[in-house]
Structure 1
Amino acid sequence: MKFSVGVEYAIHCLLYMVNLEEGKSVGIKDLAAFQGISETYLSKVYAKLSKSGIVKSIPGVKGGYALARSAGEITFWDVVEAVEGTESFFQCAEIRQKNILLDKENLPDTHTKCPCLIKVVMLEAEDEMKKYLNNKTLAWLYDEVYNKKLPKDVEKATIEWFSNKRK
């Protein structure tokens, strides 16, 4: 299992949008420049975030994007699903049904009615990851990064950088 770099780009860039003033927005160009990432790729990621209702497009000359919901309502899992899609990570092909030793005419009920245990384990693991990522929000991340990890002047400098770009 591997998430695309789009998930990382999205969460990092959404973090900078948490403290935007009401009615303000930030552009893809500024987000990409701040992070040193591809503007084209980030634009595609933000199209997915917009379609999923995580961000909203703000029209106009100074337009861009703003969070569509509060930072406390946007989970890491929301971002993963927006960027990667909703398809399950594990796709069971039921190859156990093709075993060369199976007497397909006389399969016991236990074989045909029992779910594949490999599938069960994999889906349970995916569900646990989903639960974990649903408990991590942008608000939690903002608090961890700017209130617990980084010095306050970093938060201030970040806010000022984006504010100066929107003037």
Structure 2
Amino acid sequence: MSLYSAGVEYGIHCLIFLVGERGESREASVRELAELQGVPLDYLAKIFTKLAKANLVVATEGVRGGFKLAKPSDEISILDIVNAIDGRKLIFDCREIRGRCALFEGSPPSWALEGSCAVHAEMSVAQDRMEEALAQQTILDLARKLGRKAPANFPVQVDQWINDRREKKRATPTRDDTLSVVDISD
């Protein structure tokens, strides 16, 4: 079983697509990102609610509204995203079994319980190293890694794909789109 949910993977991949060619923020709706990444729309909407509450993304208004990064892409760490979506998760939960040895006959000697549990201490070091590694990588770092392996025209293709969907949406408004328009001419 994995430590982090699929939501973390979905969120990170979608935020990568909010990073433009030069590290600037690109704007896209949750629907566009869900279609682009092939992930469930309702689930992704919940993820973006968490990302917005953590001030990692901000909603934009208007017909072409959606989400964009709330701060520069080089200031959003992978750990920020993980914690926003899943919360802080410990890789180990010490059960303090060191005093339960059958040889102690129910009453552990003081030496067995003295100081911190060695197993817990090692797992804490591993937790710290994992979080440190995630904190050192930003969403910009991951976007650049994708950019190095993708064809040079890929960012343009992404922009075009998003713009095509927005044009289709504008050309064929849904009932929800028309209900959100308010006539202020009176």
What is the TM-score normalised by the length of structure 2?
0.79
Partner residue, 1:100? 102
Instruction: Tell me which residue corresponds to 1:2.
Output: 3
Counterpart of 1:164 in structure 2 is 164
Q: Deviations over 1:105-129 (max 9, x none)?
A: 5622x33331111111111111111
Cα separation, partners in 2 of 1:145 and 1:23, compared to 1, 3 Å:
closer
Aligned residues: 165
In structure 2, how many angstroms separate the alpha carbons of the residues matched to 1:61 and 1:133?
Answer: 35
**C-alpha displacement at 1:70, in angstroms?**
0.7
The Cα shift of 1:87 comes to 3.5
Identity %: 32
1:46 partnered with 2:41: no
Letter in structure 2 aligned against 1:46: F
Contact 2:24 2:73 in 1 (8 A): no
5 Å-filtered alignment, 1:86-97, equals: 86-97=88-99
Q: For the residues of structure 1 that align with 2:9 and 2:26, how far apart are their CA atoms?
A: 23
Deviation above 4 Å: which 4+ runs of structure 1?
20-24, 103-106
Deviations 1:80-112 (CA, angstroms, capped at 9, x unpaired): 11111114221111122333332665622x333
From 70, 73, 76, the counterpart of 1:71: 73
Q: 1:153 to 1:45 in 2, by over 3 A?
A: same
Out of 76, 83, 108, which is 2:85 matched to?
83
Structure-2 separation of matches of 1:23 and 1:92: 41
For structure 1, which runs of at least 5 residues remain unmatched after alignment? Answer: none
Aligned-partner Cα distance in 2 for 1:99–1:49: 45
Question: For the pair shown, which has the larger CA radius of gyration, 1 or 2?
Answer: 2
Shift in Å, 1:61? 3.5
Computed over aligned residues only, the root mean square deviation of the Cα atoms, in angstroms, reads 2.3
- Alignment partners' CA distance in 2, 1:93 and 1:81: 24
Cα distance in 1 for partners of 2:24, 2:76 equals 17
Question: Which is bigger in relative contact order (C-alpha 8 A, separation at least 6)?
Answer: 1
Pair 1:17 & 2:28 matched: no
